[in-house]
A and B are shown apart, each in its own frame.
Chain A
Amino acid sequence: MSEPLQRALDRISRVRGVRGSMWVAAEDGIPVAQLLMEGVKGKAVAALAASLARKVSGAAAATGAGRVRFVQMEAAGGTLLVAPAAQDLLIVALADSRVNVGLARLEMIRAAEAALA
């Protein structure tokens, strides 16, 4: 794994409440790189996040909203965050309900934009 990708995961995982972050291949939902707390099922998170991102992107296209830049799924027990990046990659974070979503979002968008550069 390249150093910039790893550094991005380090920064995201330092945000309070984040239980894991990963780079995922958008097309097939396979993890490319990950930094996860114990007990987090990386493969499942990757596959489900990629599938959710595809569905949301389809719905956004149907509503005329255009290309999706960030997706946040809120649930009673936590939050799933997904940001599409370059080279058909997604950056994904799984967090508990204490997460500072604003900060995690900033780090993820920064990482996604850096991947574009």
Chain B
Amino acid sequence: MPDDIRSLTAALARDPKSLVYADLAEALRRRGQRQEALQVVLQGLTRHPMHADGHDCLARVYADLGDLERARLAWSKALEIAPDHMGSLRGVAFLLFRQGDLAAAESALQKVLARAPWDEGARRALAGVRAGRGAEGGAAGAPGAAPRAVPETAAPSPAGQRPEVFHGFDGASADILLLDQRGLVLAGGLTDAQGKDASELAAAALAGVSGEAARTAEYLGLESWSAIVAEAEHSNLVVAPVGEGALLLVRRDRSMAVGLALRFAERARGIALAWLKGQGA
């Protein structure tokens, strides 16, 4: 069993009421274990019927299984719960593309970019849809005639396609991750022990940390939180808020002193902040 699935399974076993079920289901889905993913996410949603990420994950599993009608229903439910849910907005664009409704797919992608102008995947998909529409004289075409760009937006973004915000930093695309408060990757990247991209899984898990930290700091009268340092078995993590609504994760080897890791993270945070400002975010 791969490490990420083993650790997420253990985390869910320790706390069956936690939201980690969605991370586990997504990890299983990415590894092609669709039936197992379906079972995990359906079980999780019985406990958390108003969890938008769970419905988004369910929709992805159904889409992978070719059940587009159930995928549509699940994404609709996610958007009913959280109208700005980016994964679901992308999913809807993907479905519209698959149905050959390129005009509606274009409109859906525009909605995604209005909320996340830095989303390079959505930008490329939009360009592809527009090119497809242009080739057909502006009319919506058959599914097979359209470019393949939109489905890509519903899949994980390869690390190489993300903005190289941390260029020059040690671990720029393997140990430094910038995400938004909904758990969507903005820049950088994180790889697992096998060197495979684990950014989206990590981002989804980290979004929960941000909310919990804000709640804890507020309730205990600690004012705004500035960093969380987690010393763990294999590596140390530094998580820090960046501007309004973004979050930075830096992973450092345990051999690096915690104080040094914090300084490193502070430098990366400055770069991320400047980049976000440059994006108008």
Contact = CB atoms under 8 A, between A and B. Distances in A.
Contact of B209 (A27, A56, A67, A94): A56
Interface centre among B10, B15, B229, B230 (most CB of A within 10 A): B230
A59 B19 CA distance: 11
Contacts of B7: 61-62, 64, 66
Contacts of A54: 15, 18
A14 B11 CA distance: 34
Contacts of B222: 73, 75-80
Contacts of B251: 63, 65
A66 B232 contact: yes
A55, A56, A62, A68, most chain B CB atoms within 10 A: A62
B217 to A, nearest CB: 5
A58 interface: yes
A62 to B, nearest CB: 4
A116 B7 CA distance: 22
Given A75-B225, A77-B223, A94-B220, A70 B231 contact: yes
A58 B208 contact: yes
Contacts of A8: none
Interface of B is mostly: mixed
B101 interface: no
Interface string B92-110: 0000000000000000000
B220 to A, nearest CB: 6
A76 B227 CA distance: 10
B35 interface: no
B184 interface: no
A98 interface: no
Interface string B202-242: 10111011001101110111111111111111111101000
Given A55-B208, A65-B251, A80-B216, A74 B228 contact: yes
A80 to B, nearest CB: 7
Given A55-B212, A69-B233, A62 B224 contact: no
B1 interface: no
A35 interface: no
B215 A60 contact: no
A22 interface: no
9 contacts: A56-B228, A58-B11, A65-B232, A65-B234, A66-B232, A66-B235, A75-B226, A76-B224, A78-B222
